[in-house]
Amino acid sequence: MRRAVAFLTPLGGAAAPSPAALPWFPVVGALLGAAVGAVWWGADRLWPPAVAAALAVAADLVLTGALHADGLADTADGLLPPLDAGRRLDVMADPRTGAFGVVAVVTVLLLRWAAFASRDPSVLAVAGVWCASRTAMAVALLALTYARPGGLATPFQGGRARTVPLAAAGGIAATALACVGLGSAMEGAAVVLAALAGAALVLWLAVRRLGGYTGDVLGAAGMVGETAGVLAAAARW
């Protein structure tokens, strides 16, 4: 659990990455989502919806240390411009942020804010969406090729036989949380499917253009998946 927390957040202290941490990714995601949802719910009691939504978005950035937002920026800079595969990895390793990265992060944050501001708070729904995004990250670590051998995520490699059980357990937990939080089985399932589809889209693009994923791609997949999930939750069903 501590290894999963250390990899996904700035909390937990130093901990060596290990495949044993992967089953805890959905749990960490659910806890992070519950914390973000709690900030959203509490702020909504004190401020107008727009302010409460902004505080919820800020809470996620604080709790994750903006790690995933940084990954989204690097991934957008590396995957979206017309470059060859080797050059893409170099661009993603560059600490500077380009135009594609800035646009991607600003767009995602605005969409999150608008989605939160347009509906009543639900702690469990956010927990479900964040659980789904971390499940997608864990499954990608097990099932896909790492495009940067020797990088931070290398120790997570191995154990592909656990992919299906982990995906099933995380998906069921995420759907259950979302269904209870939204009070509708159909809406809860749609929200989780949207989150998984958003994450899968980023991972698919990375496989097409890099031959696999990187740590930045995982962060981007989580951010895009969560955003797709909260947008689905804000839809007029």
Segment 168-226, tens digit of pLDDT: 999 999 999 999 999 999 999 999 999 999 999 999 999 999 999 998 999 999 999 99
Neighbour-count burial for 121-132, b at 16+ CB within 10 Å, e otherwise:
bbbbbbbbbbbb
Domain carrying residue 141? 2-234
Per-residue pLDDT at 155? 63
Domains in the chain, number: 1
Segment 151-165, tens digit of pLDDT: 666 666 666 667 788
Which residues, at least 6 apart from 74, have a Cβ–Cβ distance to it below 8 Å?
91, 92, 93, 94, 97, 101, 216, 220
| Residue type (1 letter), 113 | W
Tokens 């959905």, residue located: 26
Tokens 């990375």, residue located: 206
Per-residue pLDDT at 161? 61
pTM: 0.93
Segment 97-150, tens digit of pLDDT: 999 999 999 999 999 999 999 999 999 999 999 999 999 999 998 888 888 766
Tokens of 212: 């696999």
Per-residue pLDDT at 145? 87
Segment 45-71, tens digit of pLDDT: 999 999 999 999 999 999 999 999 999
* Residue 159 to residue 146: CA distance in whole angstroms: 14
Which residues, at least 6 apart from 22, have a Cβ–Cβ distance to it below 8 Å?
4, 138, 141, 142, 156, 159, 162, 166
Count of Cβ atoms closer than 10 Å to residue 93 Cβ: 13
